[in-house]
Amino acid sequence: MIIVSPSLLSANFLNLEKDIEMFNKSNAQWLHYDVMDGNFVPNITFGPQILKQVCTITDKFIDVHIMVVNPLETIDYFENCRIDMLTFHYEAVNDLQQCNAVIDKIHEKGIQAGISIKPNTPVEILEPILHKIDMVLIMSVEPGFGGQKFMPNMLGKCDWLHDYRRKNNLNYLIQIDGGINYETGKMAVEHHCDCLVAGSYCFNNPISFDHGVNSLLSLKKENQ
């Protein structure tokens, strides 16, 4: 079963409660929450205060993607939020020992740990830490904004992660984020992605939010 994680970045912030109710009623399993600091990426979004309130109106899995220069400190800012998965960027620390420290801190809080790489970062660099992470997030656009065009040449990274997982008997999830719609989602599923993040395709879907979610959820079945 494919996991669909609609990205709140594309929600209508003037009507956030309504959009979260729409998400709650849908078949989407996760909610993707993009934290940007205006430093690691050229954009600023939302932080712990808003997430704390969001968590009070949904029981679904909270999937937080932090695009910040200081993941180790940022974890503490979210102390009072109910987070299920916390994903940080390898490029924010650029050092495997530091990555280990971030992963350990996330796990100590009882949260699953994900690591993400930007399009220009080779996936093989993550090899020494793959045994201890719960998810790898492959960015299929440059992080910073919703509504960008999918980069199909990122799919080779998903194949590599799938092979490595099988050969080493590991269990991490493979997530992809950026430019996902029905066509690109189909490609991602064919390249072994387990979890599809989709912002504009769900929240700005011309038919409906449910249509966006359900068409992505149907992908696994078609390829099985």
Residues that bind Zn ion (CB under 5 A): 34, 65, 177
Q: For ligand DX5, what does the binding mask look like between residues 149 and 178, x meaning CB under 6 A?
A: ----------------------------xx
Most distant CA pair in the chain, distance: 47
Q: How many residues bind ligand DX5 (CB under 6 A)?
A: 21
Of 98, 30, 114, which Cα lies nearest the Cα of 65? 114
Using CB under 6 A, which residues numbered 74 to 93 contact ligand DX5? none
Contact criterion met (CB below 8 Å) for 175 and 138 = yes
Please say if 34 is a catalytic residue: yes
**In one letter, which amino acid is 161?**
L
Q: Out of 47, 71, 114, 179, which residue is the one contacting ligand DX5 (CB under 6 A)?
A: 179
Q: Out of 19, 34, 134, 194, which residue is the one contacting ligand DX5 (CB under 6 A)?
A: 34
CA distances to 57, 65, 176 from 136, rounded to whole Å, are 27, 11, 8
**Please, which residue, 134 or 177, has the CB nearer to ligand DX5?**
177
Contact criterion met (CB below 8 Å) for 84 and 63 = yes
What distance in Å separates the CA atoms of residue 143 and residue 178, rounded to the nearest whole number? 8
**Please, which residue, 41 or 123, has the CB nearer to ligand DX5?**
41
Least distance to Zn ion from the beta carbon of 24, Å?
20
Residue of this chain nearest to ligand DX5 (CB atom): 199
Question: Residues 34, 63, 134, 194: which is the catalytic one?
Answer: 34
What distance in Å separates the CA atoms of residue 89 and residue 99, rounded to the nearest whole number? 9
| Region from 73-81, 106-114, 195-203, 208-216 binding ligand DX5, contact rule CB under 6 A | 195-203
What distance in Å separates the CA atoms of residue 106 and residue 87, rounded to the nearest whole number? 9
Degrees to nearest 5, angle at CA 138 with 98 and 169? 75
The site partner of 180 among ligand DX5, Zn ion, none (C-beta below 5 to 8 Å per kind) is ligand DX5
**Please, which residue, 13 or 128, has the CB nearer to ligand DX5?**
13
Please say if 177 is a catalytic residue: yes
The residues annotated with a catalytic role in the active site are 34, 177
